[in-house]
């Protein structure tokens, strides 16, 4: 599935991005306001939505909120270069990643590929492979996870990061490794993306028998999923 929804009111920018994405083998549909974009995103036709923060009628943050209320589809946010507050809020609401504008079509396309690469069924995993760490069970090929037999509602990036941690359970994983393996890109300087996603995961995962979070920060080493 390579259908991309591009939600942005800048028609010139949308045209440039659409042309490049189509040259790279994607099919692109566009929406120029948040209400239309949210409605299209929830139609089930798209592999990913690219969503600008600043739009008329309904801004990108509210559009993301509406999408996340009903869908786990991957969402890549377009933000202003200095809009740290919007960027963090977007991640907290469930955006999978962000690209700061101005950006090149090549950079945008690379980021889309990185997200989709991690959401596709892994050819390296055998059918039915299961990752189990304490009460956590993950089925990577099916993109499903449960805690104590209850389903976890995870965004695509949260699933990616949790899968990396589960495969390395019992030992710390650096933020750079999490970024490269979970987001498909090196960790940028001052990038809080991983921290925000891991904070969200802590709230969604259950606790150990002693009441501690199963997801721990290891000073100067990264994050670790604890075996119980």
Report the CATH number of the 3-119 domain.
3.40.50.2300
pLDDT at 190: 79
Report the CATH number of the 131-225 domain.
1.10.10.10
Contact partners, residue 105, CB within 8 Å, separation at least 6 = 16, 17, 19, 20, 21
Mean pLDDT for each consecutive 10-residue tract of the chain (228 residues)?
A: 92 94 96 95 96 90 96 92 82 92 93 86 59 92 90 93 95 95 86 91 89 91 90
- Write out the residue limits of the CATH 1.10.10.10 domain(s) in the chain: 131-225
pLDDT at 166: 95
For the chain, the first-to-last Cα distance in angstroms comes to 38
**Rounded-to-integer distance, Cα 74 and Cα 41, Å:** 10
| Whole-structure pTM value | 0.84
pLDDT at 123: 43
Using CA atoms, how far residue 173 sits from 6, 40, 180, 223, in Å, is: 33, 37, 11, 5
pLDDT at 70: 94
């Amino acid at each position: 599935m390579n259908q991309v929804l591009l939600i942005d009111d800048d028609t010139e920018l949308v045209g440039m991005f659409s042309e490049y994405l189509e040259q790279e083998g994607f099919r692109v549909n566009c929406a120029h306001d948040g209400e239309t974009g949210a409605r299209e995103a929830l139609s089930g036709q798209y592999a990913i939505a690219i969503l600008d923060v600043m739009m008329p009628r309904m801004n990108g943050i509210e559009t993301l909120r509406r999408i996340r209320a009903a869908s786990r589809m991957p969402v890549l946010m377009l933000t202003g270069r200095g809009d740290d507050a919007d960027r963090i809020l977007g991640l907290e609401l469930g955006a999978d990643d962000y690209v700061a504008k101005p950006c090149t079509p090549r950079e945008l396309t690379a980021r889309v590929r990185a997200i989709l690469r991690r959401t596709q069924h892994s050819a390296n995993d055998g059918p039915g492979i299961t990752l189990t760490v304490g009460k956590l069970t993950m089925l990577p090929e099916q993109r499903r996870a449960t805690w104590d037999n209850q389903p976890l509602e995870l965004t695509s990036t949260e699933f990616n990061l949790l899968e990396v941690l589960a495969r390395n359970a019992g030992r710390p994983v650096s933020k750079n490794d999490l970024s490269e393996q979970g987001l498909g890109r090196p960790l940028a300087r001052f990038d809080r993306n991983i921290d925000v996603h891991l904070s969200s995961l802590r709230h969604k995962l259950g606790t150990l028998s002693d009441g501690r979070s199963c997801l721990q920060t290891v000073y100067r080493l990264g994050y670790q999923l604890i075996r119980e």
